[in-house]
Amino acid sequence: MRAFLPFMLRAGLTALVAANTACAQVAPQMANAGVKPNIVIVATGGTIAGAGATTANSATYQAAKVPVDKLIAGIPELNDVANVRGEQTFQIASESFTNDRLLQLGKRVSALVKEPGVDGVVVTHGTDTLEETSFFLNLVVHTDKPIVVVGSMRPGTAMSADGMLNLYNAVVLAGTPSARGKGVLVEMNDDILTGRDAAKRINIKTNAFASAWGPLGMVVENKVYWFRAPVKRHTMQSEFDIDMLTTLPEVQIVYGSGNMAVEMYDAAVKAGAKAIINAGVGNGSVPNYAVDTLKKIRAGGVHVVRSSRVADGFVIRNSEQPDDQYDWVVAHDLNPQKAKILAALALTRTNSTAELQRMFWEY
Ligand code: ASP
């Protein structure tokens, strides 16, 4: 009972507020004129489904507790903007996502967007690996229907919980015709970000997600405002297809730092990595005492992808390291965890360095 206190308090206020704002309502944009869009909420867990012991617990709580039907029931306003149904695909904290979970989720979303009666899909997700999943879906689901990934930084039981508005905005966005063909989107804190480069930048506050290149737009009071569009290949134009995938090759990240142990790279190979993402310092740099190790690893058939531990900017090919000579790849502006997703998908199609590099430029 206590877990849903804020939802209940809110519900009590709804009638009061409705009376005062009825004339100020902005008509929602709908999939078909005068008809509400059909949106499926695919729930996977996370803080948006979390519950804490008290309303003061904004950061200490259990993720993945509240079932999707309860989340939907807690936001009656969803009925004003869409016909919504929920599916509990799994109920986990997103740090526990594995490749198998990614594939399972991707296949389910792909099946849903193929249904003629579905206009858009919202995926509720923990924020910790939301950036991996949103990029993965962006690369493998062939559809122009909106797919919106959403999470929250505070559980629904906390004061100023952000999940309800985030989810409401995500449903509005998923049901908006102008969101079609823009790839997988992330809706958090009113911002619309592309699933390609949305990343968690702050691990406490509600403005946790950002892209180095800025948001695509915003959702405010039922309306979607666009300011830019993605230019990289995604969804319909992608050469990766979830329906053809049954497994993903192993890729691991090695984090660069001063005085790093080069054995970390060897450990990644030992763990079965077919590519190593170098989360290098600065411009994806590799210490002089690690170059030979990485050259040997490449000669052994494992790919080396230079990304950076720096949140913004991008790694420049043949700068800092002679990538052509060493047969290495640069991750462009993709952070290490995004690069890991693309490298795994790329390796399902090719083992050529030139092809891998092409994919890192294009996606
Ligand atoms: N650990 C949680 C998760 O990713 C954090 C969150 O959702 O904000 O599932």
- What spacing in Å lies between the alpha carbon of 43 and ligand 1's midpoint? 13
For residue 15, pLDDT over 70 is answered with no
Rounded to two decimals, the pTM is 0.92
Q: From CA 310, how far away is CA 331, in angstroms rounded?
A: 13
Q: From CA 340, how far away is CA 348, in angstroms rounded?
A: 13
| CB of residue 126 inside a 6 A radius of ligand 1 | yes
Nearest CA to ligand 1 atom 3: 126
In the chain the domains, ranked by start, together with CATH numbers, are 2-237 (3.40.50.1170), 249-362 (3.40.50.40)
Return the residue matching tokens 């005062």.
Answer: 20
Side by side, the strands of the sheet bearing 223-226 are 83-92, 38-45, 120-124, 147-150, 185-188, 191-194, 217-220, 223-226
Tokens of 102: 């990614």
Question: Which contiguous run of DSSP H or E holds residue 11?
Answer: helix 5-21
Burial class (CB in 10 A: 0-12, 13-18, 19+), 102: buried
Interior angle at CA 362, CA 360 and CA 363, nearest 5: 70
The mean per-residue pLDDT over the stretch 357-362 comes to 98
Interior angle at CA 30, CA 25 and CA 32, nearest 5: 140
φ, ψ of residue 252 to 5 degrees: the values are: -130, 155
| CB of residue 46 inside a 6 A radius of ligand 1 | yes
pLDDT at 34: 76
Confidence category of residue 10, pLDDT binned at 50, 70, 90: very low
pLDDT at 33: 55
- What spacing in Å lies between the alpha carbon of 153 and ligand 1's midpoint? 7
Are 63 and 93 in contact by the 8 Å Cβ rule? The answer is: yes
For residue 17, pLDDT over 50 is answered with no
Say whether 221 sits in a helix, a strand or coil.
coil
The mean per-residue pLDDT over the stretch 189-210 comes to 97
